[in-house]
Amino acid sequence: MSKTNVRHPPHYKENTLLTRREFISSGLQTTGAIAVASAATGILTGCSHQVHAHPTLATASGEITGKASLKAHAAAHELLVGAAVNTRLLRSDANYARILREQYDLVVAENAMKWGPLRPAPDKYFFDEADALVAFAEQNKMKVRGHNLAWHEALPGWFAATVNKENAQRFLTDHIATVAGRYKGKIRSWDVVNEAIQVKDGRPDGLRKSPWLELLGPGYIDIAFRAARQADPGALLTYNDYGVEYDNDEDARKREFILQLLRRMKADNVPLDALGIQSHIRAGSSSSFGKGIQDYIAGTRALGLQVFLTELDVNEDDLPYNDVAQRDHAIAEVYRNYLDTVLPDPAVKSVLTWGVTDRYTWLNGPTQKRKQPNRRQRALPFDDNYQPKEAFFAMRDCFDRRSV
């Protein structure tokens, strides 16, 4: 599909392209090669830096494709490895698409399957971007995760004025029937409900005071899961949430509320197959990974559920130094510590990073409150120039160490 024949509704925005201002503040001009891909995609104009025609994955660190790829190492230990995808880049950035094909088994739309992008108007759906992702996955024999069917964010602009207590259930179930129905048989797992727990909202059940809760009460969760099972009986239905990774009181409370929700759903025979642990983790944190998340995963396994690490990346705003090699090392250590803590549990079946290259990480995007606004985040396994970083090798080593 070429760029010109794709229709974008006016509301549809992906925010992860490097702006000229970010490029300049990043200091990347001096590396040269990034200017190539930038010029090729038309992101930057007027840059006169040295141009290398073919940035490649071959590095001093050795082979990383084929048997040396993330997916080969993951498969040897019964894991799928995946990444969140900005669907527009599949058309505009050949290196991005190539890395996906070479390294990953599984893709998930970073935004294209959310309500906002899919629903330009109450009675209209826009499927072009989501369809493009599913087509890319089919062409390359990859699996697809669906993200997501009910969330308090990314709701369309018309939502608040249109959806009310009388029609909310119909909106929710129609949406799920239409979207999950369209991709029936093509989605390995769906994030049916995303981020429903928010301890600080103060409810005894821990539920977030989201639009869905206000409209439908706590029952919206079961309604969504039942509708998803009906629409696509083969998809693994997942509850996905963040803020549960560390051994600290705040994360411990959230884990308790989520486990309580999962137990309640199982007891009520709500169709539920898996727990998603987003895994947006931090370098320079004063907390560590350990028994807290291990018990959380074991508790989930005891309910007969699978576990997916759905949105792994490392926010490095708390690192006190600017040196890139030092930061990359610290970031890789966080990947290592985290994965070595959670991967030994056989309930963990997949690891997805939230993006592929630092070039497009959401952590540099406009939704982030930055502590280091002049420093680009290096959150992902590939750098701004598509080269594998220490984090890439850390992931591969952790897959190898898993005894499953």
The residues annotated as belonging to the active site are 195, 311
In this complex, which beta carbon is closest to ligand XIL, that of residue 36 or of residue 314? 314
Q: Does 360 bind ligand XIL (CB under 6 A)?
A: no
CB closest to ligand XIL, residue no: 362
Q: How far apart are CA 151 and CA 142, in angstroms?
A: 26
Q: Which CB, 311 or 390, lies closer to ligand XIL?
A: 311
> Which residue lies nearer to ligand XIL by CB, 69 or 210?
210
Alpha-carbon radius of gyration of the chain: 21
The reply on whether position 311 binds ligand XIL by CB under 6 A is yes
Q: Which residues pair with 282 in a beta bridge?
A: 315
369 binds ligand XIL per the rule CB under 6 A:
no
Minimum distance between the CB of residue 379 and ligand XIL, rounded to whole angstroms? 11
Helix segments in 183-290, DSSP class H: 211-216, 220-231, 249-267
CB of 72 to ligand XIL, least distance (A): 27
Q: What string marks each residue from 86 to 125 as x (binds ligand XIL by CB under 6 A) or -? A: ------------------------xx--------------
How far apart (Å, rounded) are the C-alpha atoms in residues 373 and 370? 5
Asked if 12 contacts 117 with a C-beta cutoff of 8 angstroms, the reply is yes
Closest CA to 258 of 304, 193, 342, 197: 197
Residue 346 beta carbon to ligand XIL: minimum distance, rounded to whole angstroms:
25
Give, as ranges, the residues between 176 and 195 that touch ligand XIL (CB under 6 A): 194
362 scored as a contact of ligand XIL (CB under 6 A): yes
* Single residue of 8, 9, 15, 68 touching ligand XIL by CB under 6 A: 15
Q: Cα(105)–Cα(100) distance, rounded to whole angstroms?
A: 8
The residues near 129 (Cβ < 8 Å, ≥ 6 apart) are 6, 8, 12, 87, 88, 109, 112, 117
Report d(CA 328, CA 319) in Å as an integer.
10
What dihedral do alpha carbons 144, 198, 347, 354 form, nearest 10°?
Answer: 40
> Positive or negative, the Cα torsion across 257, 223, 349, 100?
negative
Judged by beta carbon, residue 52 or residue 152, the one nearer ligand XIL is 152
Smaller CB separation from ligand XIL, 86 or 300? 86
**What are 122's strand-pairing partners?**
none
Residue 210 near ligand XIL by CB under 6 A? no
**Is residue 279 involved in binding ligand XIL (CB under 6 A)?**
no
Residue 80 near residue 162, CB atoms below 8 Å: no
> 78 or 250, CB closer to ligand XIL?
250
- Shortest Å distance, C-beta 362 to ligand XIL: 3
Q: Is residue 198 near ligand XIL by the rule CB under 6 A? A: no
Q: Which residues bind ligand XIL (CB under 6 A)?
A: 15-16, 110-111, 194, 278, 311, 362, 365, 367
